[in-house]
Chains A and B, each alone.
Chain A
Amino acid sequence: MNDESPSLAVPVNAQDHIQGLESAPVTLVEYGDYECPHCGAAYPIIKAIQKKLGPKLRFVFRNFPLTSMHPFAELAAEAAEAAGTQGKFWEMHDAIYENQESLGEEMLEELAQKLELDINRFNSDIKNRKFKEHVKKDFIGGAKSGVNGTPSLFINGERFDQNIDGQLLLDALSSAVV
């Protein structure tokens, strides 16, 4: 039964997009959707917390696109993964959230150009749905972990069930440091 708070079913691994050191005392895993406004609101909060906690925090982003609600969420997730194979996952991740209000096919291609990706490779990866399976794997791992909407956050493997207002999250992460 799920009497206890759900926990991360898939440990952080080499397939993940990771910022920070493996030796960091706290790992924050986000299951996010690029079109979700709550994820957009969480983005600068998490950025600020990363800055504050520095090397004490490791941050991992995994995909959880709710495609029936958000028509561009899957495309955006695959675009970020496509940028990732060209070494620019985080640049794309950040750029999408910073321009979330104009999310769409054109915007993603523009971002790819701005990030100086190999645009032919990027477009063909998108067209061939090269990262469809990767995104799906993230999603299923999230569902098994008890992701119940986006963003869902896990602190050292435990689901964080409070509002992602800056202070509550910072407090939870800070107390996990000790």
Chain B
Amino acid sequence: MSTALKPGTKAPDFSLPSTPDQQVSLSEFKGRNIILVFYPSDWSPVCGDQLAVYNELAEVFESYNASLIGISVDGVWCHNAFCHDRKYHMPLLADFEPKGAIAKAYGVYREKEGLSERAIFVIDGEGMIRWSYVSPMEINPGADGILKALESLTSKAA
């Protein structure tokens, strides 16, 4: 069974580098919805497609007052090269040192492989997890679940 944190749980805060000289923390997004996307690694083909779809949806996520953040155990220079190559706009955080600490806090770290699961958390402006989903490693989950979660979140808020 999945150990991923469930809806209704407070999202563990984090502060991780997104570039060699920039840190991103969850608490700085207070009041905004966050889509936190854990993925196993940069460059693997499935991650590439998954993030490419999200990259195109930035405007749509914005209309739900939401930002998307990617996170994997890769280091900042790897993220840097990956982002440039794929022309991604979202920040990719390096859960690199101590390795996988944030993935562990969210219950989505795979000790054996040393990678995070392919998992998505939708977190509301109060820092509460409102939806979580762990996809089979090799399956690109797309965006339908995220969009449904954001829809129900914003309609409840209205």
Contacts and interface: CB of A to CB of B under 8 A. Distances in A.
Interface string B20-46: 000000000000000000000000000
A68 B141 CA distance: 19
A177 to B, nearest CB: 27
**Main secondary structure on A side of the interface with B:** loop
Nearest to A2: B145
Given A68-B88, A69-B86, A143-B53, A6 B144 contact: yes
Interface size class of B (residues with CB under 8 A): 20 to 34
A25 interface: no
A17 B50 CA distance: 26
Nearest to B57: A143
**Main secondary structure on B side of the interface with A:** helix
B153 interface: no
A9 B89 CA distance: 26
Given A1-B133, A2-B133, A68-B87, A144 B144 contact: yes
Interface string B120-158: 000000000000010000011111110110000000000
Interface in B83-134: 86-89, 133
Given A2-B144, A68-B87, 8 more contacts: A69-B52, A143-B53, A144-B144, A146-B143, A147-B53, A147-B142, A148-B142, A148-B143
Q: Which 3 A-B pairs have the closest CB atoms?
A: A148-B142, A149-B49, A146-B144
Interface of A: 1-2, 6, 9, 65-69, 139-140, 143-149, 161
